Homo-oligomer: A and B are copies of this chain.
């Protein structure tokens, strides 16, 4: 855990505090492979960008699918583009419990031995053998942010929140990349548990 900290002494609106990171809440979503996209929406179907996301090159798609597990179905779950090498379904724990899937806590891309599900699209089904995970909270930083904060790619930090609820998330992985924008990704369980929304910021505290 980090150094001592008195949250009352921190100005979470301070525009000059580079250690404040904007919160970005990810609703349940999925990334699809080219092969699975064709099975779900038909051959030669291309994803339709309806909204660019904070991270450059990433976008919300018009396309949605139903996600089926042993205990239920999540309807109209949005696909995020562009296509990826492997289909990855990112659920909050509340979502996963609702459809009866024991989704492991994973960093993005780490899908080995994760459970599968059935994806239902307008043109067909995909029986996914693995790829359903709960995404671990993480922070994106541009390389310039990493240099300014003295943080390296894959370094762990603690993040404090002090709004309606005062909470801390410890050992959060920082990802530093030339194409990343500065934000912290939380899922809906984490954001709702902390009652965080658009405009809220967390304080990055480096391991001492």
Contacts and interface: CB of A to CB of B under 8 A. Distances in A.
Interface of A: 1, 3-7, 92-94, 97, 105, 134, 160, 164-171, 187-190, 192-195
For the complex formed by this chain, how many copies does it contain in all?
A: 2
A193 B105 contact: no
A167 B158 CA distance: 9
Contacts of A170: 7, 166-168
A203 B171 CA distance: 18
A207 B144 CA distance: 38
Contacts of A164: 105
Given A164-B105, A167-B167, A167-B169, A195 B93 contact: yes
A134 B164 CA distance: 12
A5 B97 CA distance: 32
A170 B1 CA distance: 14
Given A105-B164, A189-B193, 17 more contacts: A1-B5, A1-B6, A1-B7, A1-B160, A3-B4, A7-B170, A92-B192, A94-B188, A94-B189, A165-B169, A166-B171, A167-B167, A168-B168, A187-B193, A189-B189, A189-B192, A190-B193
Nearest to A166: B170
A93 B191 CA distance: 9
With most chain B CB atoms within 10 A of its CB, the pick from A1, A164, A190 is A1
A164 B189 CA distance: 15
7 contacts: A92-B94, A94-B192, A97-B192, A134-B195, A167-B169, A187-B193, A189-B192
